[in-house]
Amino acid sequence: MFSEILVAVDGSNMGERAFGTALEEARVWKAKVHAVYVVETGLFSSLPMDHTWEIMFSMLEKEGRETLERAKEAAQKAGVALEIHIRQGHAGSEVLKTAGEIGADLIVVGSHGKSEVDRLLLGSVSSFVVSNSSVAVLVVRPSQK
């Protein structure tokens, strides 16, 4: 049923859960996984384009590359084919754009991110993706213990 799965990762626990879910789905469907990390430039677009902006962007991009490297290692251990993507812009829009470019037939997103602020942002990202996607979207929620 699914052959190309796109998962949004952000370095959070929910992002890791979403990635794990994407790997499980890939094994079931014998699908390829694409992991995308979006450097959300809207977070500091109102700041002047100075050295501070450059430092913040570099830190977020570095976090993205590290997150995607961990994803590569986990996919390799799981025996799942993985392609990585790093983008910048509005996270929801970039997830959907990437999904279209790769021909994804399933998008996996976490319900929220790292902190309360990220919860609001990623919550809005998952809502945006669900509302605007033309393909199936799986929203991964925290486990209930």
Return per-residue pLDDT of the chain as tens, 145 residues: 899 999 999 998 889 999 999 999 999 999 999 999 999 876 655 556 666 767 877 888 999 999 999 999 999 999 999 999 999 999 999 999 999 999 999 999 998 765 445 445 545 888 999 999 999 999 999 875 5
Distance CA 88, CA 40 (A): 6
pLDDT at residue 124 in the model? 80
Assess if residue 145 is contained within a domain: no
**Domain at 85, CATH number:** 3.40.50.620
Does pTM top 0.85 for this prediction? yes
Distance CA 56, CA 67 (A): 17
Assess if residue 96 is contained within a domain: yes
pLDDT at residue 44 in the model? 58
pLDDT at residue 57 in the model? 79
Residues 6+ apart with CB under 8 A from 141: 111
pLDDT at residue 84 in the model? 98
β-strand 106-110 against 82-89: which pairing, if any? unpaired
Q: How many domains does the chain have?
A: 1
Both tokens of residue 129?
């993706």
Both tokens of residue 114?
């790292």
Which of 10, 3, 4, 2 has its CA nearest to residue 140?
A: 10
Domain, as residue range, for 37: 4-140
Assess if residue 11 is contained within a domain: yes
Q: Are the CB atoms for 32 and 84 separated by under 8 Å?
A: no
Q: What letter would DSSP give residue 30? A: T
Assess if residue 59 is contained within a domain: yes
Assess if residue 23 is contained within a domain: yes
